[in-house]
Structure 1
Amino acid sequence: MVFASDAESCPDPPPVDNSIFVAEEVEGQLLGTYICIMGYHLVGKETFVCNASEEWDVSPTECRLGHCPDPVLANGKCNSSGPVNVGDMITFKCNDQYILKGSDWSECLDDHTWEPPLPICRSRDCDPPGNPVHGYFEGGSFTSGSVITYYCEERYRLVGTRELQCIDGEWSSEPPACEPIQETPKPAILSILEKVLLMFQENEDLCSDMGNFIKNLKQSGLTMEEVKHSLEVKKARLEANVLLKHNK
């Protein structure tokens, strides 16, 4: 640090590496200024005052090397060939089969950071997709533009998008899910038939009689509809006879 001051009443200011301190009297006050040497820039307050107590109102300040960290872009390149000074801007471009994620430019700020943040080059191909529980997909290619199709195991139904496409390194949607299929309750008539069949199985005589009835029915050449109609006619006649006797 180099001092350039004629002020004898104020003490030496705190040292700041890689800087020159200049003091001058302005309107009765002694002002001090830090000036960074070439290749460095000031971070913090630049000008200070020697107050009535003959002390400098100095807050933390420093001179930093005047370039940002070298930009690194894997699978791509930028238009920088050396140290980038504060205020410089650079641009980025990805190699073939890679896509830029982030800004295609950035600026070196006073605090030695890049703004916007440095981008990345991401492959246009997709990572292997996930498999839903009780499901699977068909399609072995994950390159950009490829399509895979999802299926569910037996007794499960697919909920979500069946087909996913790889678009510039990302799948078009989230993988679907496989949910269990709720069994439909059996109608009451089926339950009754099951009980009848069970009764037939438990009663060998009844089962035998039913078998004989069906055998005789086939030999007679009649159909079940004809037998049913005949029984209904006989039932109607019996009901008519009972009604006549009652009226007498």
Structure 2
Amino acid sequence: MLCWIVCCLIWLISAFNGSCSEVPPVNNSVFVGKETENQILGIYLCIKGYHLVGKQSWVFDLSKEWNASVPECHMGHCPDPVLENGKTSSSGPVNASDKIMFECNDGYVLKGSNWSQCLEDHTWAPPFPVCKSRDCEPPGAPVHGYFEGGTFTSGSVVTYDCEDGYDLVGTQTLQCIDGEWNSSYPTCESIQEAPKPAEQTALEKAILSFQESKDLCSATENFVGRLKEGGVTMEELKYSLEMKKIKLKADILLKGHS
């Protein structure tokens, strides 16, 4: 039968008289748990004015000697506030409801709330901010593109360009502002060449040559010469002219009904 154990609810584990000697003592805490076959399962709770450093939940094997480190209860209702690359207004152990302020070192900018408060559950809210460098990471470069500019400190500007045959799409210049680039970098898209005009047929070239000649004799000679160059036979010429005539008649009739 499971037996619930509540050890040291009115006095500290450090003052054990032997009734809970199987559980490693932790100063300024109480241990609440339950006993199963050859095991004790439970948690350490720090008394008011202290906070837990380490793992809270534990399973102790009564058949083996315990040699691992257990948690500790440090003075202060909440863990000591630490702000990397910055400082806090805290000057000692923190009590419940205490508020602290945050400030970053020179060259860093605060990201998040500039204050936090110690809660009854030993946590801080809002979460601690971070101090981020005012300098930027190197910006990305688009495929088939590149940027010019070798410094990425706050206020620095880089300029983008594309390889030959590609057009820049987006912002050409980016500026580093308090550790972040003010825009995403552009892309380089392939330049689409204008479609080439359809090549003229031998008959079209011959007709154009006929139209450009000033007298009938020259026009006829140029026309026949073009046909021979293009390898157009007289039968093909007659067929093409008949088809053009039919198309012209159809166009005239359609215009008359419109």
TM range (shorter): 0.5 to 0.7
SS in 2 for 1:71: coil
Aligned to 1:15: 6
Q: 2:105 aligns with which of 81, 95, 98?
A: 95
State the alpha-carbon separation in 2 of the partners of residues 108 and 86 from structure 1: 5
Mapped contact 1:130–1:175 kept (Cα < 8 A): yes
* 1:181 Cα deviation after fit: 1.4
Q: 1:83 aligns with which of 80, 93, 117?
A: 93
Aligned to 2:196: 186
Residue 171 of structure 2 corresponds to residue 161 of structure 1: yes
1:104-123 equivalence runs, <5 A: 104-123=114-133
Aligned to 1:68: 78
Mapped contact 2:50–2:78 kept (Cα < 8 A): no
Aligned to 1:235: 216
State the alpha-carbon separation in 2 of the partners of residues 167 and 94 from structure 1: 16
* 1:65 Cα deviation after fit: 7.0
After superposition, what is the alpha-carbon deviation per residue over 1:137-162, rounded to whole angstroms, capped at 9, x for unaligned? 00111011111011111111111111
Aligned to 2:29: none
Q: TM-score, normalising length from structure 2? A: 0.52
* 1:164 Cα deviation after fit: 0.5
* 1:84 Cα deviation after fit: 1.1
Q: 2:155 aligns with which of 145, 154, 161?
A: 145
Mapped contact 1:18–1:40 kept (Cα < 8 A): no
Q: 2:143 aligns with which of 109, 112, 133?
A: 133
| Larger Rg over CA atoms | 1
Structure 1 residue identity aligned to 2:127: P
Structure 1 residue identity aligned to 2:105: N
Change (3 A) 1:107 1:18: farther
SS in 2 for 1:148: strand
Mapped contact 2:77–2:118 kept (Cα < 8 A): yes
Q: 1:173 aligns with which of 160, 175, 183?
A: 183
Mapped contact 2:75–2:93 kept (Cα < 8 A): no
* 1:110 Cα deviation after fit: 1.2
Q: TM-score, normalising length from structure 1? A: 0.54
Structure 1 residue identity aligned to 2:173: E
Q: Give 5+ residue unaligned stretches, structure 2.
A: 12-45, 52-72, 203-210, 221-258
1:26-45 equivalence runs, <5 A: 39=49
Change (3 A) 1:17 1:85: farther
Structure 1 residue identity aligned to 2:191: I
State the alpha-carbon separation in 2 of the partners of residues 142 and 69 from structure 1: 36
* 1:235 Cα deviation after fit: 2.5
State the alpha-carbon separation in 2 of the partners of residues 77 and 110 from structure 1: 24
* 1:79 Cα deviation after fit: 0.8
SS in 1 for 2:216: helix
* 1:40 Cα deviation after fit: 5.5
SS in 2 for 1:149: strand
After superposition, what is the alpha-carbon deviation per residue over 1:81-133, rounded to whole angstroms, capped at 9, x for unaligned? 22211111100001111100000000011111110000110011100001111
* 1:80 Cα deviation after fit: 0.8
% same residue:
63
Q: Give 5+ residue unaligned stretches, structure 1.
A: 1-12, 21-35, 42-62, 196-227, 240-248
